[in-house]
Copies of this chain bind each other. A is one copy, B any other.
Amino acid sequence: MARKIQQRTLQTRAKLLSAGDALASEHGFEATRIEDIVQRAGVAKGTFFAHFRDKDALMDQLIGARLSVLLDALDQVQAPGSVEGIIETLVPLHNAMTSERYVFDVILRYSGAAGISEIGPIAMAFGRYLSIVTKWLQDGAYRPDIPAPLVAEGVQAFAVQAMALTYCSLHQEQSRDARLRQYLEAWLTPG
């Protein structure tokens, strides 16, 4: 039987996404309520959940889309040649990821794929982050002893740690990027 997807399905979904994105821009992601989204989109509440498993699933889309834009920019940039350069280049991405505490929490929750064999936009973004950094490190200027993807995983782990400590009442004497610099120098240029 297999009927083709209706036009209105795509329209409704698009309306929900743009309403959500607009409200997130206006009041932040955390303050965005499903009720507000469906009202602005002009649909019933139940319709929302016919299109997204839950609120987090929408947030995955919205936040993932924002990260995707920044990753597109990173794709264009030429490989930074120093630790300092790497950190500077990643600043916009890290800022976006920590724009709200709530956003960072969602990102962490979705950084691994959400469910079995479901790989969402945020997990995708993490994958792209990894491959971009891997590309930067490909030439082997840093840590030629281990494969570049592993080096990149370390960069990501340290970046997440540096971001997480942003929300810590201790460790506030050092900025996120200063902390990350300390980590990456130890990771990329040991000895």
> Chain A: residues with CB nearer than 8 A to chain B?
105, 108-109, 111-113, 115-119, 123, 127, 143, 145-146, 150-151, 153-154, 156-158, 160-161, 164-171, 182-183, 186-187, 190-191
Contacts and interface: CB of A to CB of B under 8 A. Distances in A.
Contacts of A119: 169-170
A160 B160 contact: yes
B112 A167 contact: yes
* Shortest 9 CB-CB contacts between residues of A and residues of B: A112-B168, A157-B161, A190-B190, A113-B169, A112-B167, A157-B157, A146-B186, A116-B169, A145-B191
A154 to B, nearest CB: 7
Contact of A164 (B108, B118, B146, B170): B108
Query: How many copies altogether?
Result: 2
B186 A117 contact: no
A111 B170 CA distance: 11
A86 to B, nearest CB: 16
B112 A169 contact: yes
Nearest to A150: B186
Nearest to A166: B112
Contacts of A167: 112
Contacts of A117: 169
Nearest to A159: B157
A165 B112 CA distance: 6
Contacts of A153: 161, 183
A50 B128 CA distance: 45
Contacts of A123: 168, 170
Contacts of A182: 150
A189 to B, nearest CB: 9
Given A118-B169, A119-B170, A168-B123, A154 B186 contact: yes
A187 B112 contact: no
